Amino acid sequence: MPERKANFPHLEIAAIFLAHCSNYFLKENGQLAFVLPRSFMSADQHENTRNGKAKGFTLTQIWDLDAVTNLFRVPSCVLFSEKKLKTSVSQYHKGINGISFKGRIKKHNCSIKEVEDAGVLTQTENTFYYTTLGKSSAFSVSKQSKKGSQNKTSYYKTSFKQGATLVPRNFYFVELTQEEPEDWDDRLINIKTSSESMKQAKKPWNEIDMHGQIDSQYFFRTAISKNVLPFVLYNPELVILPIKINQENKQITMQTHEEILKDGYYITAQWFKNVENVWNILKTEKNEKISSGNYLNWQNKLTDQDLNKKYMVLYTASAKNANSCVVKREDLKLEFIVESTTYVFFSNNKNEAYYVSALLNSSVPNELMKDFQAKGLFGERHVHKKILDIPFPQFNEMNQAHIDLALLSESCHTKAAKWMRENNIPDNLDPIKLGKVRVQIKAYLNEEMKKIDKLVKGVIK
Protein backbone atom coordinates (compact mmCIF):
# COMPACT_ATOMS: atom_id res chain seq x y z
CA MET A 1 0.00 0.00 0.00
CA PRO A 2 1.26 3.54 -0.72
CA GLU A 3 2.49 5.43 2.33
CA ARG A 4 0.62 8.59 1.33
CA LYS A 5 -3.17 8.31 1.54
CA ALA A 6 -3.51 10.65 -1.45
CA ASN A 7 -2.08 7.85 -3.64
CA PHE A 8 -4.59 5.18 -2.53
CA PRO A 9 -7.12 5.93 -5.31
CA HIS A 10 -4.37 5.59 -7.93
CA LEU A 11 -3.09 2.18 -6.83
CA GLU A 12 -3.45 -0.31 -9.68
CA ILE A 13 -4.56 -3.89 -9.12
CA ALA A 14 -1.45 -4.92 -11.10
CA ALA A 15 0.73 -3.88 -8.14
CA ILE A 16 -1.28 -6.05 -5.75
CA PHE A 17 -1.27 -8.92 -8.26
CA LEU A 18 2.53 -8.72 -8.65
CA ALA A 19 3.06 -9.04 -4.89
CA HIS A 20 0.36 -11.71 -4.54
CA CYS A 21 1.76 -13.93 -7.31
CA SER A 22 5.30 -13.61 -5.99
CA ASN A 23 4.28 -14.50 -2.46
CA TYR A 24 1.81 -17.33 -3.16
CA PHE A 25 2.73 -18.92 -6.47
CA LEU A 26 6.54 -18.88 -6.49
CA LYS A 27 8.96 -21.22 -4.78
CA GLU A 28 11.95 -19.63 -3.03
CA ASN A 29 14.16 -18.08 -5.74
CA GLY A 30 11.39 -18.70 -8.28
CA GLN A 31 11.22 -16.14 -11.12
CA LEU A 32 8.40 -14.11 -12.60
CA ALA A 33 8.01 -11.61 -15.46
CA PHE A 34 5.01 -9.26 -15.73
CA VAL A 35 4.00 -6.92 -18.53
CA LEU A 36 2.90 -3.78 -16.69
CA PRO A 37 1.98 -0.12 -17.24
CA ARG A 38 5.11 2.02 -17.44
CA SER A 39 3.77 4.03 -14.51
CA PHE A 40 5.59 1.43 -12.36
CA MET A 41 8.80 3.22 -13.42
CA SER A 42 7.88 6.63 -11.99
CA ALA A 43 4.35 7.06 -10.56
CA ASP A 44 4.15 7.93 -6.86
CA GLN A 45 1.66 5.14 -6.11
CA HIS A 46 4.26 2.52 -7.11
CA GLU A 47 7.04 3.85 -4.88
CA ASN A 48 7.00 0.67 -2.73
CA THR A 49 7.63 -1.51 -5.77
CA ARG A 50 10.65 0.62 -6.70
CA ASN A 51 12.19 1.00 -3.24
CA GLY A 52 11.95 -2.64 -2.20
CA LYS A 53 9.29 -2.22 0.50
CA ALA A 54 6.78 -4.35 -1.41
CA LYS A 55 7.25 -7.70 0.31
CA GLY A 56 8.19 -11.07 -1.09
CA PHE A 57 10.16 -10.27 -4.25
CA THR A 58 13.22 -8.51 -5.63
CA LEU A 59 13.31 -6.91 -9.08
CA THR A 60 16.04 -8.46 -11.20
CA GLN A 61 15.56 -7.01 -14.68
CA ILE A 62 13.59 -4.29 -16.49
CA TRP A 63 12.44 -4.03 -20.09
CA ASP A 64 11.40 -0.52 -21.07
CA LEU A 65 8.82 -0.53 -23.88
CA ASP A 66 8.16 3.22 -23.83
CA ALA A 67 9.55 3.72 -27.35
CA VAL A 68 7.58 0.81 -28.86
CA THR A 69 4.47 2.14 -30.60
CA ASN A 70 1.27 0.36 -31.60
CA LEU A 71 1.72 -2.07 -28.73
CA PHE A 72 -0.76 -1.17 -25.97
CA ARG A 73 -3.05 1.75 -25.16
CA VAL A 74 -0.71 2.90 -22.41
CA PRO A 75 3.10 3.07 -22.22
CA SER A 76 4.38 -0.27 -20.94
CA CYS A 77 7.29 -2.08 -19.35
CA VAL A 78 8.20 -5.59 -18.19
CA LEU A 79 9.42 -6.19 -14.63
CA PHE A 80 11.30 -9.41 -13.83
CA SER A 81 11.31 -10.51 -10.22
CA GLU A 82 12.65 -13.25 -8.00
CA LYS A 83 11.05 -14.46 -4.79
CA LYS A 84 13.00 -13.02 -1.85
CA LEU A 85 11.90 -12.32 1.68
CA LYS A 86 13.75 -9.01 1.94
CA THR A 87 14.98 -6.39 -0.50
CA SER A 88 17.19 -3.38 0.23
CA VAL A 89 16.76 -0.16 -1.73
CA SER A 90 20.56 0.06 -1.88
CA GLN A 91 20.45 -2.85 -4.32
CA TYR A 92 18.41 -0.71 -6.71
CA HIS A 93 20.69 2.31 -6.23
CA LYS A 94 23.47 0.16 -7.68
CA GLY A 95 21.34 -0.50 -10.72
CA ILE A 96 19.13 -3.18 -12.30
CA ASN A 97 20.11 -4.65 -15.66
CA GLY A 98 17.63 -4.23 -18.46
CA ILE A 99 16.83 -3.50 -22.09
CA SER A 100 15.22 -0.50 -23.80
CA PHE A 101 13.22 -1.43 -26.91
CA LYS A 102 12.38 0.93 -29.77
CA GLY A 103 10.31 0.60 -32.94
CA ARG A 104 6.82 0.45 -34.40
CA ILE A 105 4.89 -2.81 -34.57
CA LYS A 106 2.70 -3.02 -37.67
CA LYS A 107 -0.31 -4.54 -35.93
CA HIS A 108 -1.53 -5.59 -32.51
CA ASN A 109 -0.82 -9.12 -31.28
CA CYS A 110 2.04 -9.84 -33.68
CA SER A 111 3.85 -13.13 -33.21
CA ILE A 112 7.52 -12.96 -32.26
CA LYS A 113 8.39 -14.34 -35.72
CA GLU A 114 6.47 -11.53 -37.47
CA VAL A 115 8.33 -8.93 -35.46
CA GLU A 116 11.72 -10.54 -36.02
CA ASP A 117 11.14 -11.00 -39.76
CA ALA A 118 10.06 -7.38 -40.15
CA GLY A 119 13.12 -6.16 -38.24
CA VAL A 120 11.12 -3.31 -36.75
CA LEU A 121 12.49 -3.42 -33.20
CA THR A 122 15.89 -2.40 -31.91
CA GLN A 123 17.11 -3.03 -28.40
CA THR A 124 19.72 -1.37 -26.21
CA GLU A 125 21.13 -2.87 -23.04
CA ASN A 126 20.78 -0.45 -20.13
CA THR A 127 21.15 -0.22 -16.39
CA PHE A 128 18.19 1.27 -14.53
CA TYR A 129 18.97 3.16 -11.32
CA TYR A 130 16.66 3.96 -8.45
CA THR A 131 16.86 7.74 -8.05
CA THR A 132 14.88 10.38 -6.20
CA LEU A 133 13.96 13.97 -6.86
CA GLY A 134 12.44 15.62 -3.82
CA LYS A 135 9.78 13.19 -2.61
CA SER A 136 9.45 11.49 -6.00
CA SER A 137 11.38 8.49 -7.27
CA ALA A 138 11.90 6.73 -10.59
CA PHE A 139 13.91 4.07 -12.36
CA SER A 140 16.18 5.98 -14.72
CA VAL A 141 19.05 5.26 -17.12
CA SER A 142 20.42 8.82 -17.05
CA LYS A 143 24.01 9.20 -15.91
CA GLN A 144 23.03 11.73 -13.27
CA SER A 145 20.92 9.05 -11.62
CA LYS A 146 24.03 7.01 -10.87
CA LYS A 147 24.89 9.56 -8.20
CA GLY A 148 21.95 8.30 -6.21
CA SER A 149 19.33 10.44 -4.53
CA GLN A 150 18.82 14.16 -4.93
CA ASN A 151 16.74 15.24 -1.95
CA LYS A 152 17.01 19.01 -2.33
CA THR A 153 13.96 20.80 -3.67
CA SER A 154 13.27 24.28 -4.94
CA TYR A 155 13.26 27.15 -2.47
CA TYR A 156 10.00 28.17 -4.16
CA LYS A 157 8.18 24.84 -3.87
CA THR A 158 5.95 25.93 -0.98
CA SER A 159 5.56 29.45 -2.43
CA PHE A 160 3.81 28.26 -5.58
CA LYS A 161 0.09 27.59 -5.20
CA GLN A 162 -2.39 26.01 -7.58
CA GLY A 163 -5.19 28.33 -8.68
CA ALA A 164 -8.92 28.00 -8.03
CA THR A 165 -11.00 25.45 -9.92
CA LEU A 166 -13.37 27.71 -11.85
CA VAL A 167 -15.83 25.03 -12.91
CA PRO A 168 -18.29 24.28 -14.37
CA ARG A 169 -16.80 26.78 -16.81
CA ASN A 170 -20.12 27.39 -18.58
CA PHE A 171 -21.21 29.37 -15.50
CA TYR A 172 -18.17 31.61 -15.27
CA PHE A 173 -16.24 31.80 -18.57
CA VAL A 174 -18.01 34.35 -20.75
CA GLU A 175 -17.69 36.44 -23.89
CA LEU A 176 -19.15 39.84 -24.66
CA THR A 177 -22.16 40.26 -26.93
CA GLN A 178 -21.34 43.92 -27.30
CA GLU A 179 -18.19 45.96 -27.93
CA GLU A 180 -15.71 46.01 -25.05
CA PRO A 181 -16.24 49.18 -22.98
CA GLU A 182 -13.52 51.80 -22.68
CA ASP A 183 -13.64 51.33 -18.93
CA TRP A 184 -15.21 48.81 -16.55
CA ASP A 185 -16.63 51.24 -14.00
CA ASP A 186 -20.27 50.83 -12.93
CA ARG A 187 -21.58 49.38 -16.18
CA LEU A 188 -24.03 46.69 -17.14
CA ILE A 189 -22.32 44.43 -19.68
CA ASN A 190 -24.07 42.07 -22.13
CA ILE A 191 -22.57 38.58 -22.11
CA LYS A 192 -23.11 34.92 -22.90
CA THR A 193 -21.37 31.67 -22.02
CA SER A 194 -18.01 31.40 -23.77
CA SER A 195 -18.20 29.44 -27.03
CA GLU A 196 -14.94 27.65 -26.16
CA SER A 197 -16.37 26.59 -22.81
CA MET A 198 -19.36 25.10 -24.60
CA LYS A 199 -17.04 23.09 -26.87
CA GLN A 200 -14.86 21.81 -24.05
CA ALA A 201 -17.59 21.05 -21.49
CA LYS A 202 -18.53 17.49 -20.61
CA LYS A 203 -22.02 16.16 -20.00
CA PRO A 204 -24.30 17.34 -18.50
CA TRP A 205 -22.69 20.81 -18.40
CA ASN A 206 -22.20 20.98 -22.19
CA GLU A 207 -25.84 21.95 -22.64
CA ILE A 208 -25.66 24.97 -20.32
CA ASP A 209 -25.65 28.12 -22.46
CA MET A 210 -26.37 31.26 -20.45
CA HIS A 211 -27.10 34.78 -21.71
CA GLY A 212 -27.72 38.04 -19.85
CA GLN A 213 -26.16 41.07 -18.24
CA ILE A 214 -23.66 41.42 -15.40
CA ASP A 215 -22.48 44.45 -13.44
CA SER A 216 -18.91 45.31 -14.40
CA GLN A 217 -17.42 44.89 -10.89
CA TYR A 218 -18.01 41.12 -11.17
CA PHE A 219 -15.71 40.75 -14.20
CA PHE A 220 -12.17 39.40 -13.92
CA ARG A 221 -9.38 37.99 -16.07
CA THR A 222 -7.83 34.55 -15.71
CA ALA A 223 -5.60 32.17 -17.65
CA ILE A 224 -5.96 28.51 -18.44
CA SER A 225 -3.20 26.38 -19.94
CA LYS A 226 -3.63 27.64 -23.51
CA ASN A 227 -3.13 31.26 -22.40
CA VAL A 228 0.31 30.64 -20.85
CA LEU A 229 3.10 30.49 -23.42
CA PRO A 230 6.86 30.78 -22.84
CA PHE A 231 7.33 34.39 -21.63
CA VAL A 232 3.83 35.41 -22.84
CA LEU A 233 0.39 35.71 -21.27
CA TYR A 234 -1.79 35.46 -24.37
CA ASN A 235 -5.41 36.56 -24.64
CA PRO A 236 -6.39 35.96 -20.97
CA GLU A 237 -9.92 34.66 -20.43
CA LEU A 238 -12.85 36.83 -19.31
CA VAL A 239 -14.71 35.42 -16.30
CA ILE A 240 -17.48 36.50 -13.95
CA LEU A 241 -17.29 35.45 -10.30
CA PRO A 242 -19.55 35.90 -7.24
CA ILE A 243 -16.85 37.60 -5.20
CA LYS A 244 -16.38 40.97 -3.52
CA ILE A 245 -12.98 42.64 -3.18
CA ASN A 246 -12.25 44.99 -0.28
CA GLN A 247 -10.50 47.90 -2.00
CA GLU A 248 -8.51 48.79 1.13
CA ASN A 249 -6.82 45.46 1.84
CA LYS A 250 -7.68 43.58 -1.39
CA GLN A 251 -9.22 40.68 0.53
CA ILE A 252 -11.57 38.45 -1.49
CA THR A 253 -14.95 37.42 -0.06
CA MET A 254 -17.37 34.94 -1.60
CA GLN A 255 -20.95 36.16 -2.09
CA THR A 256 -24.25 34.32 -2.38
CA HIS A 257 -26.84 35.68 -4.79
CA GLU A 258 -28.77 37.00 -1.75
CA GLU A 259 -25.72 39.02 -0.64
CA ILE A 260 -25.23 40.37 -4.16
CA LEU A 261 -28.86 41.44 -4.15
CA LYS A 262 -28.43 43.24 -0.81
CA ASP A 263 -25.59 45.22 -2.37
CA GLY A 264 -28.04 46.46 -4.99
CA TYR A 265 -26.99 44.40 -8.01
CA TYR A 266 -30.32 42.80 -8.94
CA ILE A 267 -29.42 41.63 -12.46
CA THR A 268 -26.09 40.08 -11.38
CA ALA A 269 -27.83 38.41 -8.42
CA GLN A 270 -30.29 36.83 -10.85
CA TRP A 271 -27.44 35.33 -12.93
CA PHE A 272 -25.85 33.70 -9.90
CA LYS A 273 -29.23 32.57 -8.60
CA ASN A 274 -29.70 30.76 -11.92
CA VAL A 275 -26.20 29.28 -11.52
CA GLU A 276 -27.13 27.87 -8.10
CA ASN A 277 -30.43 26.47 -9.43
CA VAL A 278 -28.74 24.68 -12.34
CA TRP A 279 -25.97 23.46 -10.03
CA ASN A 280 -28.50 21.96 -7.63
CA ILE A 281 -30.21 20.10 -10.50
CA LEU A 282 -27.08 18.72 -12.18
CA LYS A 283 -24.51 18.29 -9.41
CA THR A 284 -23.36 14.78 -8.60
CA GLU A 285 -24.30 12.80 -5.51
CA LYS A 286 -20.74 13.35 -4.25
CA ASN A 287 -21.36 17.12 -4.18
CA GLU A 288 -24.88 16.85 -2.78
CA LYS A 289 -24.14 19.05 0.25
CA ILE A 290 -21.88 21.53 -1.54
CA SER A 291 -23.11 24.83 -2.97
CA SER A 292 -21.78 26.17 -6.28
CA GLY A 293 -19.94 28.91 -4.37
CA ASN A 294 -18.25 26.47 -1.98
CA TYR A 295 -17.25 24.30 -4.93
CA LEU A 296 -15.80 27.36 -6.67
CA ASN A 297 -13.77 28.22 -3.57
CA TRP A 298 -12.71 24.65 -2.75
CA GLN A 299 -9.94 24.66 -0.12
CA ASN A 300 -10.08 28.49 -0.21
CA LYS A 301 -8.02 28.53 -3.41
CA LEU A 302 -10.02 31.52 -4.59
CA THR A 303 -10.30 33.68 -1.46
CA ASP A 304 -6.67 33.06 -0.40
CA GLN A 305 -5.21 34.62 -3.57
CA ASP A 306 -2.95 37.61 -2.95
CA LEU A 307 -4.16 40.61 -4.95
CA ASN A 308 -1.68 42.97 -3.30
CA LYS A 309 1.42 41.63 -5.04
CA LYS A 310 2.45 43.47 -8.20
CA TYR A 311 3.80 40.43 -10.06
CA MET A 312 2.57 36.90 -10.66
CA VAL A 313 4.75 34.10 -12.03
CA LEU A 314 2.49 31.58 -13.75
CA TYR A 315 3.36 28.17 -15.13
CA THR A 316 1.25 25.43 -16.69
CA ALA A 317 0.16 22.45 -14.59
CA SER A 318 -0.25 20.15 -17.56
CA ALA A 319 2.07 19.89 -20.57
CA LYS A 320 5.25 18.15 -21.63
CA ASN A 321 7.28 21.09 -20.30
CA ALA A 322 6.57 23.91 -17.91
CA ASN A 323 5.60 27.09 -19.75
CA SER A 324 5.92 30.23 -17.69
CA CYS A 325 5.29 33.95 -17.89
CA VAL A 326 5.26 36.97 -15.60
CA VAL A 327 1.97 38.84 -15.28
CA LYS A 328 2.09 42.48 -14.16
CA ARG A 329 -1.16 43.52 -12.50
CA GLU A 330 -0.74 47.10 -13.71
CA ASP A 331 -0.98 45.90 -17.33
CA LEU A 332 -4.52 44.58 -16.86
CA LYS A 333 -7.75 46.60 -16.68
CA LEU A 334 -9.42 43.93 -14.53
CA GLU A 335 -8.26 42.03 -11.44
CA PHE A 336 -6.57 38.75 -12.31
CA ILE A 337 -7.69 35.50 -10.65
CA VAL A 338 -5.48 32.41 -10.98
CA GLU A 339 -7.17 29.24 -12.30
CA SER A 340 -6.32 25.64 -11.36
CA THR A 341 -4.65 24.77 -14.69
CA THR A 342 -1.80 27.03 -13.61
CA TYR A 343 0.43 27.46 -10.57
CA VAL A 344 1.33 30.92 -9.26
CA PHE A 345 4.03 32.63 -7.23
CA PHE A 346 3.20 36.16 -6.03
CA SER A 347 5.98 38.72 -5.60
CA ASN A 348 6.63 42.45 -5.32
CA ASN A 349 10.20 42.01 -6.56
CA LYS A 350 10.28 42.42 -10.35
CA ASN A 351 13.73 40.88 -10.78
CA GLU A 352 12.79 37.89 -8.64
CA ALA A 353 9.66 37.29 -10.72
CA TYR A 354 11.57 37.35 -14.02
CA TYR A 355 14.36 35.19 -12.53
CA VAL A 356 11.90 32.46 -11.47
CA SER A 357 10.16 32.54 -14.86
CA ALA A 358 13.52 32.09 -16.59
CA LEU A 359 14.24 28.99 -14.47
CA LEU A 360 10.87 27.46 -15.29
CA ASN A 361 11.21 28.08 -19.05
CA SER A 362 14.75 26.72 -19.23
CA SER A 363 15.23 23.32 -20.85
CA VAL A 364 17.57 22.27 -18.02
CA PRO A 365 15.02 21.65 -15.20
CA ASN A 366 12.44 20.43 -17.71
CA GLU A 367 14.84 17.69 -18.80
CA LEU A 368 15.84 16.82 -15.24
CA MET A 369 12.21 16.09 -14.27
CA LYS A 370 11.39 13.92 -17.32
CA ASP A 371 12.01 10.58 -15.58
CA PHE A 372 9.57 11.59 -12.84
CA GLN A 373 6.67 12.81 -15.01
CA ALA A 374 3.52 10.85 -15.77
CA LYS A 375 3.49 9.58 -19.36
CA GLY A 376 0.81 8.85 -21.91
CA LEU A 377 1.00 7.50 -25.44
CA PHE A 378 2.07 10.95 -26.63
CA GLY A 379 4.81 11.41 -24.05
CA GLU A 380 5.08 13.31 -20.79
CA ARG A 381 1.85 15.08 -19.91
CA HIS A 382 1.85 16.50 -16.37
CA VAL A 383 4.15 19.03 -14.76
CA HIS A 384 2.34 20.09 -11.57
CA LYS A 385 4.96 20.48 -8.81
CA LYS A 386 7.48 18.02 -10.29
CA ILE A 387 9.39 20.97 -11.76
CA LEU A 388 9.70 22.43 -8.25
CA ASP A 389 11.56 19.37 -7.05
CA ILE A 390 14.52 20.76 -9.00
CA PRO A 391 16.67 22.70 -6.47
CA PHE A 392 16.05 26.31 -7.57
CA PRO A 393 17.89 28.65 -5.17
CA GLN A 394 16.27 31.76 -3.71
CA PHE A 395 16.78 34.91 -5.77
CA ASN A 396 19.76 36.93 -4.60
CA GLU A 397 20.23 40.53 -5.77
CA MET A 398 23.96 40.17 -5.06
CA ASN A 399 24.34 37.15 -7.38
CA GLN A 400 25.23 38.31 -10.90
CA ALA A 401 23.95 35.09 -12.50
CA HIS A 402 20.55 35.68 -10.89
CA ILE A 403 20.45 39.28 -12.15
CA ASP A 404 21.52 38.16 -15.63
CA LEU A 405 18.70 35.57 -15.70
CA ALA A 406 16.17 38.22 -14.64
CA LEU A 407 17.32 40.65 -17.36
CA LEU A 408 17.31 37.94 -20.04
CA SER A 409 13.84 36.85 -18.96
CA GLU A 410 12.48 40.40 -19.11
CA SER A 411 13.97 40.81 -22.60
CA CYS A 412 12.39 37.49 -23.67
CA HIS A 413 8.98 38.69 -22.44
CA THR A 414 9.27 41.83 -24.56
CA LYS A 415 10.48 39.99 -27.67
CA ALA A 416 7.95 37.14 -27.36
CA ALA A 417 5.03 39.59 -27.06
CA LYS A 418 6.28 41.43 -30.16
CA TRP A 419 6.60 38.14 -32.09
CA MET A 420 3.01 37.21 -31.18
CA ARG A 421 1.69 40.54 -32.47
CA GLU A 422 3.64 40.36 -35.72
CA ASN A 423 2.60 36.79 -36.56
CA ASN A 424 -1.18 37.25 -36.25
CA ILE A 425 -1.68 34.34 -33.86
CA PRO A 426 -5.41 33.40 -33.62
CA ASP A 427 -7.26 34.26 -30.42
CA ASN A 428 -8.11 30.62 -29.64
CA LEU A 429 -5.32 28.09 -30.00
CA ASP A 430 -6.28 24.44 -30.41
CA PRO A 431 -3.91 21.90 -28.77
CA ILE A 432 -1.90 21.27 -31.95
CA LYS A 433 -1.49 24.95 -32.77
CA LEU A 434 -0.71 25.72 -29.14
CA GLY A 435 2.17 23.23 -29.11
CA LYS A 436 3.56 24.65 -32.35
CA VAL A 437 3.41 28.24 -31.13
CA ARG A 438 5.23 27.32 -27.91
CA VAL A 439 8.00 25.67 -29.94
CA GLN A 440 8.16 28.63 -32.36
CA ILE A 441 8.58 31.12 -29.51
CA LYS A 442 11.50 29.13 -28.08
CA ALA A 443 13.04 28.92 -31.56
CA TYR A 444 12.65 32.68 -32.06
CA LEU A 445 14.39 33.22 -28.70
CA ASN A 446 17.08 30.65 -29.48
CA GLU A 447 20.07 32.84 -28.59
CA GLU A 448 18.51 34.02 -25.34
CA MET A 449 17.50 30.45 -24.42
CA LYS A 450 21.09 29.24 -24.90
CA LYS A 451 22.31 31.92 -22.49
CA ILE A 452 19.52 31.13 -20.01
CA ASP A 453 20.26 27.38 -20.10
CA LYS A 454 23.97 28.01 -19.54
CA LEU A 455 23.27 30.23 -16.53
CA VAL A 456 20.68 27.81 -15.10
CA LYS A 457 23.19 24.94 -15.20
CA GLY A 458 25.44 27.00 -12.95
CA VAL A 459 22.61 28.07 -10.66
CA ILE A 460 21.12 24.60 -10.03
CA LYS A 461 23.49 22.61 -7.84
Among the listed residues 238, 239, 226, the one whose alpha carbon sits nearest the alpha carbon of residue 426: 226
Apex 115 CA angle, 109 and 120, nearest 5: 120
Whole-number Å distance between alpha carbons of 53 and 444: 48
User: Do residues 336 and 236 touch, judged by C-beta distance below 8 A?
Assistant: yes
Helix, strand, or coil (residue 43): coil
272 domain-assigned:
no
Residue 271 inside a domain? The answer is: no
Is 345 inside any structural domain?
yes
Q: What pLDDT digit, counting tens, does each position of 52-98 carry?
A: 888 888 999 999 999 898 888 888 999 999 987 677 777 888 899 99
Q: Let me know whether 23 and 160 are in one domain.
A: no
125 & 185 share domain? no
Residues 65 and 210 in one domain: no
Last residue of a domain, one of 130, 147, 164: 147
Q: Are residues 180 and 131 in the same domain?
A: no
Claim to verify: residue 135 and residue 222 sit in the same structural domain: no
**Domain-embedded: residue 196:** yes
Q: Is the pLDDT of residue 457 over 90?
A: yes
Number of structural domains in the chain: 2
Same domain, 317 and 450: yes
Domain that holds residue 245: 152-253+282-461
Nearest one of 78, 77, 80, 92 to 130, comparing CA atoms: 92
Q: Is residue 438 part of a domain?
A: yes
Same domain, 380 and 442: yes
Chain segment 318-347, per-residue pLDDT in tens: 878 999 999 999 999 999 999 999 999 999
Q: Is residue 269 part of a domain?
A: no
pLDDT tens digits, one per residue of 265-315: 999 999 999 999 999 999 998 898 999 999 999 999 999 999 999 999 999
Residue 266 within any structural domain of the chain: no
Pick from 75, 9, 19: which is nearest to 42 by CA?
A: 75
Judgement on whether residues 142 and 163 belong to the same structural domain of the protein: no
